[in-house]
Amino acid sequence: MPESVTGIPSYAFFCCERLKKLTLPKRADYLGFESVCNCSALEEITLPEGITQLDYAAVGGNPRLRELVIPEGVTELCNSALIDDTGLERVVLPHSLTEIWDNAFRRCTSLEEIVIPENVRCIDDEAFINCKKLRRVILRTGLISDDGWLPEELRGRVEVIRER
């Protein structure tokens, strides 16, 4: 993909069944609605540091994606940003992140642990719904209440560790 590309529009890579690896250009500053969604062979994606938010299902429905590093500069994981990434085992969230919207990790059924950075001030109560293997959440922020943001199905099963 040429470095001159400054954004990834909605549906740009929607249902690209043979796409295995994607490196977005350094100048790209946004990922549109379902822009890298339902790519059944996608195993690796590199997001540039200029992106500030992951839009609705921007990187959703990619069952072979195991790890995702969300770059510094991203402040929001929008509604369903990573929905149905059923193979996702590890997500690295940036210190710049402040909000995790509803369904952001919905049905990320392989996710076992996540570290919430210190600047996050809002986690929607359905952000982790249907994350069946989630067992540990490390909160590095004092801005989030105890467990009101955990879906009912996970309360009592997920260890919440506070680090400050």
| pLDDT reported for residue 92 | 95
pLDDT at 135 over 70: yes
Full set of structural domains in the chain with CATH: 1-164 (3.80.10.10)
Which two three-digit tokens encode residue 52? 């500030």
Q: Supply the pTM of this predicted model.
A: 0.90
pLDDT digits (tens, 9 = 90+) for 7-66: 899 999 999 999 999 999 998 998 999 999 999 999 999 999 989 888 999 999 999 999
Residue 156 buriedness (CB in 10 A; 0-12 / 13-18 / 19+): exposed
Residues 57, 33: contact at Cβ < 8 Å? yes
Percentage of the chain modeled with pLDDT above 70:
96
| pLDDT reported for residue 140 | 85
Residues 85, 65: contact at Cβ < 8 Å? yes
pLDDT at 145 over 80: no
Cα–Cα distance between 125 and 103 in angstroms, integer? Answer: 9
